[in-house]
Chains A and B, each alone.
Chain A
Amino acid sequence: MQANESIYNLISREEYRPPKDARYKSQFRSTVKMETTSNKASHKTMGPAKVKTDDPREFLKKRSKEPQHPPKSDFKYPDDDTRRPPVPTQEDKPLMGIKSTKNFITTNAVENIMSVPKKPAPNFADTKKGDTHPLDISGLVPKYIKKKDFGEVPDYLTRRKQEVMRAQEEYDAYVAEHYKRGAMQKLTEQERQLILNGLKKNWEAIHHQYQGLSVVTDTAPKKARKERMEAEMKQLERDIELLEKHMTIYIGN
């Protein structure tokens, strides 16, 4: 006991003082109280109470205070109603005088002699005294391995497997479709070439103009023009390089 003591056990053992039972009070208390007052000296001042007396003809008769029993009834078994009628006795007359000539004894004998003997139930004996038990349910005779579809995957399983596979495929297809719809568009090789050629053409046009510029750039508009052209060509060069560098291009939507 002491070895298992723990201070945490004191927590659960919160002190509980059961409330005291109510003080005992006799159930006859009111009766006693009433009787002691009511039966005491009831005729003290006014004489005994005037009550109607009984008729002298209705005197107390012998055994009149004994309990009244119900009248006696015959004994009956509980299944008396459901029982079959008794076998007729020798003295009983047949109903409506009908009589049978059938010899029950010989017919019974003949029937039994002629009948094919019943096959004994397949049993096995497990003790030397010959205690028998039914063979069928014992498991001693091979039963299930002789079934036609023994060792094969049952039909319903293959069916179910196929169903699952089909559902999976449908689902995959649906998902692929869904992705495809949301995916980015790929630029085809043709389109790419087209854009590339266009860009190069633009570059050549600007380059041609650029070559035709005057050698001296002495005024501000000239300088601005030259610079603008240079910037445009640079931008085009950069775009061309980008398109040439990457073979596959996706367009974001």
Chain B
Amino acid sequence: MILAFASALPLALNAQKFITKNGQISFVSVAPLETIEAHNDQVNASLDMASGDFNVKVLMQSFEFKKSLMQEHFNDNYVESDKYPNSSFVGKITNIRDLDTTKDGTVTVQVKGNLTIHGVTKSIDAVGSFQVTEGTLVGTSKFTITLSDYNIAIPMVSSGNISKTIDITVKFTLTKLS
């Protein structure tokens, strides 16, 4: 009986986890001379329904820009993706008890945790929502970061082209880990 319980335990723990490896993150910089957008749809995200732990892993080289030169500058000059290839969010959904994965509907969630970009970690809070449809959770959120908080410097010559703050939109379609 103990053996049966022990073998069922990992399944029970996995049943509480929802993941995606195809999460989407977009960001936009709106400056007087230029609007720059980038998209990444290879983002890892996991949600533990028991603890509320919510983690995200992002490869910076996976962001795609309309212009090749922008993509080069982003990787080489701003986020230095050779030195800092990954960004991450490690945090919690503080009101995880409000999210019932067995009931279809939309729930507003509070997210709190540490965002690491360019090797710098900052605490952030954001509001998001989860739409539950037949056990699949579609999480979305929008928030803003300030580039200087993450030691990303914009040269004077590019100040008209790149905003000091960046608006980030995320969308994660999470499915139960089997």
- Physical interaction between A and B: no
